Chains A and B, each alone.
Chain A
Amino acid sequence: MTAAVEASGLGVGYQGETVVADIAFRLEPGQVLALVGSNGSGKTTLLKTVAGLLPPTAGRLDVLGARPLASPARVAYMGQFHPSSFMLPLRVHDVGRMARFARHGLLGRLTAGDERAVREAMAVMGVSALAEAPLNALSGGQRQRVFLAQAFARDADLILLDEPAANLDGAARAIYRRQLHSLTAAGRAVILATHDIDEAAECDRTMLLAHRVVAYGPSAEILTQKALLSTFGMVGKYQEGGIVIVEREHGHDDCEGH
């Protein structure tokens, strides 16, 4: 069976400068891989390389059996930033419809099937009622749900999500996680970048990154206190069944409780 993503000796970085080297992994259809690490550890860089937004600095990378970007309609990508969205005259429904452009090129007409896929994705993420609302009138959390709906509306075989749960409240997180389960049950592969250890623990596989691959494998085996300490570089402890990461960044201590 063709792997969703297969990398060996992969180097990722910007303008020829490697951020993370020697990445090797194989993600099968129906699996979810969590990329976990502190800010600047290389999560987004790896995700963008798989999406085809950055060229690999070394090694081999196959996405759905071909080079990245070979099949735009089969890969969905949700990045962290949408800098222009505040002033764009776009309705929520228009944002969803953009997900289907990859299937039809410049001028191919969107079909009833496309409209149905958009409606279903919006319904799943609970934004159907906002369909006619201008994007720039939404809160950060509502906008994040719209962007997730856009990624899901692509109906892609590989879904790449950069910090998908950012800005989501508890209820929206639960909805999004249910959707991840149903997508993987349908054979879709997902790679997500996250700081959330709980989220990573629910994934099939986890890659811990700290400018290098600290550990990679089944989440249950990888998310150990020792590996997390190596990844985040500071004090960590288990607390009431969860993990507290204390991360020092630019001379300050930030705490993320889970």
Chain B
Amino acid sequence: MFLDCLVTPFTANAFMQNALMAGILVSIACGIVGTFVVLRGLAFIGDALAHGVLPGVAIAMMLGLPGMLGAAVGALGMIFGIGFITRRSNLSSDTAIGLLFVGMLALGVAIVSRSHAFSGDLVRILFGEILGIRTAELVTQLAATLVIAALAVTCHRPFLLLCFSPEQAEVSGFPPRRFHAIMLLMIALTVVVSFRTVGTLLVFGMLLAPAASAALFSRKIITMVVSASAIGTCSVYAGLLASYHLNIAAGAAITLSASLLFFILLTARQLMPRPAGAKS
């Protein structure tokens, strides 16, 4: 009976299988990218990118174009905008990110609010529709996840050095600006392909919560990436189950599961005996 509750929703419903598949792919992409977001302190830019795609998606939908295309244009606009403001002013990148973040979000809401027909779209953009995922979208998500994984493997040395010290990356022959830009593009790609699944508002939670949970226990970056992906997958599974049985929004349930897992793991770590440290 209990096992039925855990398994049957997925075996009996094709839409739940698709949702699980899409969620796992999102978890892997977010696990890889989220690790670097957490380690490099890029949470704010991740948040800004997740919200900054809104006007792009809204305009694309108004014009009858794929939302993903609009999201990609919005994300690239954010990245170039942040670079432009920081280069042309003495403002910190945090200020530039904040300015564009609120501006883009407000623009997106303003565009959507022009028509009642779009209010449903706004909910879909912000919270996703993982239960309505089609096979073609799964293929796109798979391709994006493979691209992200390939980039992470190819750039793992400069990414590690960037996390350790951008100066060490530079003197090792890996220009920090170039690899920082690649990292931002990976965040943007994750946000763009994930917004259909968990929505722009919640993809940020999937970027951050599993990676932050993994950081509590990991002693190697590769362990952190794998753990973050696994924790994300568990969150997707638990969230979908909760959504199915409790009739709550799937995207929100997934992200809520990821956040709850973080607090459970944090509490567990506090309760665990501390290992003997090397400090003296």
Contacts and interface: CB of A to CB of B under 8 A. Distances in A.
A66 to B, nearest CB: 13
Given A52-B170, A53-B171, A89-B224, A137 B157 contact: no
Interface stretch (A71-79, A196-204, A246-254): A71-79
Contacts of A130: 278
Interface of B: 39-41, 154-155, 157-158, 160-161, 163-165, 167-168, 170-174, 215, 218-221, 223-224, 277-280
A52 B280 CA distance: 35
Contact of B219 (A77, A98, A134): A134
Nearest to B35: A89
Given A89-B219, A90-B220, A94-B220, A106 B158 contact: yes
Contacts of A102: 171-173
B223 A98 contact: no
Contacts of A105: 157, 173
Given A69-B170, A137-B278, A137-B279, A84 B164 contact: yes
A138 B158 CA distance: 24
Given A98-B172, A106-B158, A89 B223 contact: yes
Interface string A56-96: 00000000000001001101110101111101111100110
B173 A82 contact: no
A98 B168 contact: yes
Given A88-B164, A90-B164, A98-B164, A69 B157 contact: no
B157 A84 contact: no
B274 to A, nearest CB: 10
A148 to B, nearest CB: 14
Interface string A101-113: 1100111000000
B154 A107 contact: yes
Contacts of B277: 137
Given A88-B164, A106-B158, A139 B172 contact: no
B280 A142 contact: yes
A133 B165 CA distance: 19
Given A89-B218, A142-B278, 15 more contacts: A69-B171, A82-B165, A83-B165, A84-B164, A88-B163, A89-B220, A91-B220, A98-B161, A101-B157, A102-B171, A105-B157, A133-B278, A139-B278, A139-B280, A142-B280
Contact of A53 (B170, B223, B224): B170
Nearest to A107: B154
A51 B173 CA distance: 11
Contacts of B223: 89
A139 B277 CA distance: 9
22 contacts: A53-B167, A69-B171, A72-B171, A76-B171, A82-B164, A84-B39, A84-B163, A84-B165, A88-B39, A89-B215, A89-B224, A98-B168, A98-B172, A101-B172, A102-B171, A102-B172, A105-B173, A106-B157, A130-B278, A133-B278, A137-B277, A142-B280
A69 B170 CA distance: 8
Nearest to A95: B164
Interface in A32-48: 48
A77 B219 CA distance: 25
Contacts of B278: 130, 133, 137-139, 142
